[in-house]
Amino acid sequence: MKTPEKPKPPALANWLASKFINKALLEEFFGDLEEIYKDRIAVKGKFYAKCMYWVDTLHLMIGFTSFNLFKTQNNHTVMYKHYLLISGRNLLRNKVYSFINILGLAVGMGVCLTISQYVYFEWSFDRFHDNFQNTYRIVTNEIQGDEDHVYATSTFAIGPSAKETIPEIKQFVRIVMVGATVAGPDSIRPLNKEFLHMLFVDNTFLQVFDFPLKLGNKESVFDEKFNIVITEKTAHKYFGADDPIGKTLTVGGKWTTERNYTVSGVLEDLPINSHLQFEFLMPMESRPGAAIGSYTNSDAWEWDNIVTYVTIDEAADLEAVSKKLDRFIIQNRGKRNTHHHVVEKAVLQPIMDIHLKSGSLLHDYLVTSKGNIQNVRIFSVIALFILLIAWVNYINLSTARSMHRAKEVGIRKSIGAFRKQLIIQFMTEAVLINLTAALLAISIAFSALPILSGIVGRELSLSFLQMPVFWVSFSSVILLGSLLSGLYPAFVLSAFKPVNMLGSGKVVRSGSINLRRGLIVFQFLISLLLIAGTYLVYKQVTFMKNKELGIDMEKILVLKGPRVNLDEANLKSIMQAFKTKAAGYHSISDVTSSATVPGGRAVYGYNSFRKLGEPATQNQDGNLIWGGLNFPEVYDFEFLAGSSFTPEMSNGDGVVIINEEAVRVFGLGSPENAIQETLVRIKGNDVLRRYRVIGVVKNFHWHSLKDGHIPYIFSFSPGVKHFISFKMNLSNIPESLAHIEKTYKSFFPGNPFDYFFLDDAFNKQYQADVQFGNLFLAFTTLAIFIACIGLFALVSYSATLRIKEIGIRKVLGAGIANLMILLSKEYLVLLSIATVLAFPAILYWGGSWLENYAFRIDIGFDLFVIPASVLALASIITVSYRTYATAKANPVDSLRKE
């Protein structure tokens, strides 16, 4: 039998400790740490044990007074104090350069911390659930020919069937979201009825998800059919400071008879890093249609608008579980799928991936705010680059100032100082600067976080400061930064020969100037990429906002239609009377109603359609939207053939207006040929309804330009009430609003007057892109600032080396302008090199990012010229300031300088 391999502590930690700890103490040092390491593995796992091993190693290294590197013939404690004392004096003596050093590192670390918190927050979604690693959402992948769609929903029956027959599945929960009216008890806190969305869930909801209950019993809150669980915020809204348990909320709507629900539980306010955000939870038994048998028996596999979650045994093979789910689908939906030539598969999506990796999912109605894994990766790279730029600056500044410390090094060496001691001295300064910058960086991060919260629209805090793993990582960054930024200057300075440093006729050149130039090129390159990225995002968002959409939205006010206290029997005539009276006002030119508006989700979403007479293999998705009279006129559709809706038509006529894409997808020929053709809408194997085409309009953009053109089918529905659109003159908005509100309340009393301007609502689709661009701009500005500090260092170094040359040139008649050009031209050369190197990167990464948009800008020459010009301007300002001061100096002082 093979002996199991003993767990080994991190080899890198042991190697690092061996370089600092006295050899006589190593055996005892490592023996104790290894025992503690094994105990931690047994209790909390290998990852935790490794992290704490690093913490213990660094802690003990700092506490030991026998570092091999520091070992000399002198008293060690006195020597350490001496190193720190000299380091402190050097920092204070060179206040400007010390300030620039610390500021550059602090800003770099602070930005890195801020971005890290943003990345951590995006990554942390749904990880607060105890069993998040084994909880999955069942999503559905439908493949039909070349079409491949992934839906966030699944069938009503798949959850309980899988739990019953697949042993790896330990639990399931289904969720259905429905809109309904809610009213609290008037005797406690009078409130108008509100139309809100609520979730119907299985009684296993609080077993799958760890949302803590503040009031109520977790095991029994869903025992009664008409129980309701609310959040703490909702409880305060409806019941104030009173205990809500046992009290009632009145819930109703079109889907069910209005009735009272008893509050059985109150959840603590939901974490903001949860993809599920809700106010009400109700038992699945009281779901819409339950009373008449919907979602049950034979049609349980037909209803596919359910969101299903499952918990799976941690030892299970996910691929095997997916195959078992696929067999269920074949057994129960095989005939339906074969009839439609559809291949349907179940995909297990980890819940921690839902926030960042659901951008392309259809029918994802539970997730109101999605992240973007690509953006998170981009910002992670930006954080690393900014930190590297800050470290590069330290190297440049240290080597640029090294000439001024040449005599100090020469004197130390001449009186017997070893190179090792000099290295320790300069490394001590590097550690001191990095530690000071790290403390300042945390303050910068605290200050920057509210700004970041405002940009991303979420309240962020430096929550990871409470995690031991963060401090291990942050300490490692400080140590690595000290090594990277301190080793090169330390070795360069300590290598100087005393004869060169103390001689009066020689100039000491510290290190390789080519290396420093290379580092400046690196800074230029990163800055160019960031500026180009900012400019690209700005151009794409501006393009999407300004592109001709094919519909008119600029002068349209949209009112959310009535939801409560409705006379359903006479609703159609009441709606028409309201629109007629509202349209009679002088500033309102037209009024219509619809089930949705541009930028909004269709009530029925995608439906299957085909041309009458075609086989089921020709079924295609189309977006069905109900529109009332004057709907095409209000939105200014451009007709290519046919005509609009007329007052003589009714719901029963089944008439539709379609767009060019629908003509193409459904094989209707030309727009003229499509008129009077019939489309059939499909549900399962059944034909739900036939629609006669009366008009074809030019393609338009109903949604964001991220999406390509899709088939739209506008069905005439004169009684539709979801949204009411007013085309109006915006010269006197308050007067027009007062008229609309007065008319609306007279026809629909008790309904809230809730409106918005359509163009503003439509542009909210680009909010995520705008946020991305704003973040890019902020981090780009900081990167340029840090890079300019580095440029200032190299200019200072170059000017110092050429101080006598400048003095001689001035004596011989050189003007300030000529001297500035002489000192500045090499930096323009470095910028030119960086610009050439940036070309392929901008082309590749810019093209990759633009592929996310169906309608996008072309990458033009301006994407290279403008970033280079911006950076050149910033560089010229930085260089000119230093070169002007040098060129203007008295040549006598320059020539007297040694």
Per-residue pLDDT tens digits for 640-689: 999 999 888 877 678 999 999 999 999 998 999 999 999 988 765 667 78
Residue 136 phi/psi, 5-degree rounding, is -135, 150
Cα gap 167→160, rounded to integer Å: 12
- Concatenating the DSSP letter of every residue in 621-668 gives EEEEEEE-TTHHHHTT--EEEE----TT--GGG-EEEEEHHHHHHTT-
Tell me the one-letter amino acid at 78.
V
Per-residue pLDDT tens digits for 72-112: 444 555 566 666 776 666 777 667 777 777 888 888 888 88
Q: Is 230 helix (H, G, I), strand (E, B) or coil?
A: strand
State which of 330-344, 396-410, 719-733 shows the largest mean pLDDT: 719-733
Which has the minimum average pLDDT: 439-443, 584-588, 666-670, 809-813? 809-813
**Which is it for strands 678-683 and 723-728: parallel, antiparallel or unpaired?**
unpaired
Q: Is 11 helix (H, G, I), strand (E, B) or coil?
A: helix
Are the C-beta atoms of residues 570 and 721 closer than 8 Å to each other?
Answer: no
Q: With 90 as the cut, is the pLDDT of residue 204 above it? A: yes
Are the C-beta atoms of residues 114 and 455 closer than 8 Å to each other?
Answer: no
Q: With 90 as the cut, is the pLDDT of residue 172 above it? A: yes
Per-residue pLDDT tens digits for 816-834: 677 677 667 777 888 888 8
> What pLDDT is stored for residue 505 in this prediction?
45
Q: Say how many CA atoms lie within 13 Å of 691 toward its Cβ.
A: 29
State which of 287-291, 611-615, 639-643 shows the largest mean pLDDT: 639-643
Are the C-beta atoms of residues 24 and 70 closer than 8 Å to each other?
Answer: no
387: part of which helix (H) or strand (E)?
A: helix 373-401
Which has the minimum average pLDDT: 157-161, 226-230, 773-777, 816-820? 816-820
Task: Pull the structure tokens for residue 714.
Answer: 């506008």
The pLDDT of 866-891, averaged and rounded, is 75
- Provide the H-helix boundaries in 64-186: 76-93, 95-123, 158-165
Task: Pull the structure tokens for residue 501.
Answer: 């440093």
CB atoms within 10 A of CB 210: 13
Q: How far is CA 840 from CA 575, 653, 766, 863, in A?
A: 59, 58, 28, 12
DSSP state of 270: P
Mention every residue, 6+ apart, whose C-beta is less than 8 A from residue 894.
803, 804, 806, 807, 810
Q: With 50 as the cut, is the pLDDT of residue 195 above it? A: yes
Q: With 80 as the cut, is the pLDDT of residue 811 above it? A: no
180: part of which helix (H) or strand (E)?
A: strand 169-183
* Residue 549: closest CA among 472, 636, 626, 445: 636
Higher pLDDT, 277 or 895: 277
| Three-state SS sequence of 80-103 | HHHHHHHHHHHHHHCHHHHHHHHH
> What pLDDT is stored for residue 66 in this prediction?
41
694: part of which helix (H) or strand (E)?
A: strand 686-697
Higher pLDDT, 650 or 557: 557
Q: 311 has which bridge partners?
A: 135, 171
Q: With 70 as the cut, is the pLDDT of residue 748 above it? A: yes
Task: Pull the structure tokens for residue 817.
Answer: 């302008």
Cα gap 308→162, rounded to integer Å: 11
Per-residue pLDDT tens digits for 39-61: 788 777 777 788 788 777 776 66
Average pLDDT across the chain, whole number: 80
> What pLDDT is stored for residue 832 in this prediction?
87
Are the C-beta atoms of residues 174 and 284 closer than 8 Å to each other?
Answer: yes
Are the C-beta atoms of residues 179 and 278 closer than 8 Å to each other?
Answer: no
**pTM of the complete model beyond 0.85:** no
Higher pLDDT, 382 or 731: 382
* Residue 702: closest CA among 654, 761, 619, 642: 761
> Any idea which residue has 């009430």 for tokens?
721
Q: 726 has which bridge partners?
A: 557, 591
* Residue 184: closest CA among 257, 255, 236: 236
Query: What share of the chain has pLDDT > 90, as a percent?
Result: 14
Per-residue pLDDT tens digits for 484-534: 767 766 776 666 666 555 554 444 444 456 777 787 888 888 888 888 888
Cα gap 376→379, rounded to integer Å: 5
* Band of pLDDT at residue 218, cut at 50, 70 and 90: confident
Are the C-beta atoms of residues 394 and 104 closer than 8 Å to each other?
Answer: yes
Q: With 80 as the cut, is the pLDDT of residue 278 above it? A: yes
Are the C-beta atoms of residues 568 and 615 closer than 8 Å to each other?
Answer: no
Q: How far is CA 92 from CA 85, 433, 730, 833, 861, in A?
A: 11, 12, 63, 37, 48
> What pLDDT is stored for residue 125 in this prediction?
92
* Residue 693: closest CA among 719, 712, 718: 712
Tell me the one-letter amino acid at 19.
K
Q: With 50 as the cut, is the pLDDT of residue 68 above it? A: no
